[in-house]
Structure 1
């Protein structure tokens, strides 16, 4: 690489490669920039950002800490990245500093769009802090009060953020306040359920999968189906999607107040969905082994009550497919 490059020349090249997700190339430009200006806080931060994308977490942490040492009160994003790389109280401290800097920056803004965007980031950081107290720091004496404090702050900053209310539902569930948890989820869903796919108000796919789990815990089955239908339209090649469909149908079939015919129908639907989840898992895999194991257990339970279809029926289907495939052109289309 030419030694004639300046850091000013390299910064747009770094950003262009980040935008195109060419992270190894972006890192090479970052390293060259650091050779030229090893104490440039901006370059140290962006290097850490690229290293996170490349799973170089130790290196990213070192670069971010050095950027913070050089400019501790300028730029909130390095604290957000450091929070992602940290645990427990250290992570909370990083996010807290980021919130302070974002709040100060927000006070200087005039553009409503920029204010909305920064408000969303502040709420996101507060949610991250809440999640830490719900998990890693749940046994700390201040855990419950901090969850309340952070979520109240998040609602004030970004009152139309569905993630805030979804997390509030998790907190209320941990407090055994199920009615309040249900109300929080209803509020969360009202903010996006009628939006078109791709709308900025709609939570990401994984967040909506997590929402379904909360809805099932609260026996909000119709709402769960509404979310699952939207997820299916968006991407139907997801193991978790069909597992949750199957789990929802299973829960409906487990309701003793329903007629025997209704229960059987729900469990047949559950089995279809769970078997599809297992087939997808065998094809594309999943990190959640426990989920797939549970799917197998549910299928086995259903089979004891609702025997699977006779093999003869499957053979008829195979013969029909074989008959259609005799035509070479049609086979090519399939």
Structure 2
């Protein structure tokens, strides 16, 4: 009982300190202007300090209830903090209240996107996504007209576009459009899949996405999913391979650039040491970028689904190279090697067709690689308390199956224990 009282007193003291801190913060806020409060809220949101940001924005709205930026940020902050109902109320008020200039919509698509993601029905979500697209497409048109005006010397027309361009590039806006359209397709393929016009809607929406960004990987992968739903696996596989090859080309070029940059930096250091003039051409580094991890997970899974194991494992290499402790990447590596070995064992694939950069592989080698990756995945899953129990259940199932086949992995304390062929850490009984 004594211990319980001590804890209670500590908790009370902590609550009192928190209350005192909030009162102090509130008193400080009284001296700030609304623009200052909004700027502070932006910084707090960027750091995911949602509760503090909400307090700043509540004070800003108390001073200026019609401030649209403060209202939008408050809605977003409340949604992120977990009070979706309150956040939606802010955003609904924002899109329903008249703007300063006639029927001008919100300056950003964020209110519509958040309302779509928290919608109470698929129809409501589709409506908000369409509204978001209208805002984004107007922004694209403004950027395009701004670029044209700049080229012709008409700076008056390009002023707004230039100002927006400082915050967001045209490519980023195109990506937002694509993601909204992809989300709409997913609604038609899931919640509304039994509607008679679902196939037509899916094809129309993905055509819009590809018109905006023809080579966008997420749009192309969605098109592949549509083709699979239409029982057209051949075209779906071709699309997935197209995306995979594009990503792998970027990965190869990035690796080459990294090697070149390392050589140039070594030359630079040598020149500096020799007191000579030498400068690094920044254009040589380029701005190539791989798609997000989630996109590469999906590409890998689709490649495995289409039995393209060599490409799938190359895609996994881009994930593991970026983060060698990524649980899902490690799982996909193990699953990929298992599927490759299983196809060879069942005669679905031959050793000749399953030839990659490492040469012809055997069933035993595939299973050894698989077990090593899957056991590593078990370890990483436990260390990180990873929330996806489905991955762990599948990994445990595969490990049990491989061990039942007599596959073994010897984990040595150091790499010096490996055999001459470099596979001293694995064996198959």
The TM-score normalised by the length of structure 1 is 0.86
- Pair member with larger Rg: 2
Task: Give 1:277's aligned residue.
Answer: 377
Cα deviation, residue 285, structure 1: 2.3
Tell me: CA distance 1:240–1:18, structure 2 relative to 1, closer, same or farther (3 Å).
same
1:84-99 alignment, distance < 5 Å: 84-86=117-119, 87-99=121-133
Report if aligned partners of 2:76, 2:114 keep a CA contact under 8 Å in 1. yes
**Secondary structure at the residue paired with 1:308?**
strand
1:298 aligns with 2:398: yes
1:137 aligns with 2:171: no
Task: Give 1:180's aligned residue.
Answer: 235
1:222 aligns with 2:255: no
For 1:253 and 1:193, locate their aligned partners in 2 and report how far apart those are by CA, in whole Å.
23
The range that moved more, 28-37 or 185-194, is 185-194
Cα deviation, residue 79, structure 1: 0.6
Task: Give 2:330's aligned residue.
Answer: 242
Cα deviation, residue 91, structure 1: 1.0
For 2:324 and 2:303, locate their aligned partners in 1 and report how far apart those are by CA, in whole Å.
20
Task: Give 2:40's aligned residue.
Answer: 13
Cα root mean square deviation, aligned: 2.4
Structure 1, unmatched stretches of 5+, are 322-334
1:79 aligns with 2:112: yes
The range that moved more, 107-116 or 232-241, is 107-116
Report if aligned partners of 1:161, 1:201 keep a CA contact under 8 Å in 2. no
For 1:169 and 1:111, locate their aligned partners in 2 and report how far apart those are by CA, in whole Å.
35
Task: Give 2:280's aligned residue.
Answer: none
Report if aligned partners of 1:88, 1:137 keep a CA contact under 8 Å in 2. yes
Cα deviation, residue 274, structure 1: 0.9
Task: Give 1:31's aligned residue.
Answer: 58
Report if aligned partners of 2:313, 2:337 keep a CA contact under 8 Å in 1. no
For 1:233 and 1:67, locate their aligned partners in 2 and report how far apart those are by CA, in whole Å.
44
Report if aligned partners of 2:41, 2:53 keep a CA contact under 8 Å in 1. yes
Cα deviation, residue 111, structure 1: 4.7
For 1:206 and 1:162, locate their aligned partners in 2 and report how far apart those are by CA, in whole Å.
11
For 2:318 and 2:146, locate their aligned partners in 1 and report how far apart those are by CA, in whole Å.
33
The range that moved more, 119-128 or 48-57, is 48-57
1:187-198 alignment, distance < 5 Å: 187-195=242-250, 196=254
For 1:302 and 1:20, locate their aligned partners in 2 and report how far apart those are by CA, in whole Å.
44
Q: Which residue of 130, 134, 138 corresponds with 1:100?
A: 134
Tell me: CA distance 1:44–1:82, structure 2 relative to 1, closer, same or farther (3 Å).
same
1:44 aligns with 2:79: no
Cα deviation, residue 233, structure 1: 0.9
1:205 aligns with 2:236: no
| Structure with bigger RCO (C-alpha 8 Å, 6+ apart) | 1
For 2:146 and 2:221, locate their aligned partners in 1 and report how far apart those are by CA, in whole Å.
28
For 2:191 and 2:325, locate their aligned partners in 1 and report how far apart those are by CA, in whole Å.
32
Report if aligned partners of 2:367, 2:407 keep a CA contact under 8 Å in 1. no
Cα deviation, residue 135, structure 1: 2.1
Structure 2, unmatched stretches of 5+, are 1-25, 148-164, 256-285, 352-360, 416-429
**Secondary structure at the residue paired with 2:248?**
coil
Query: Aligned residue pairs: how many?
Result: 314
Task: Give 1:324's aligned residue.
Answer: none
Report if aligned partners of 2:174, 2:213 keep a CA contact under 8 Å in 1. yes
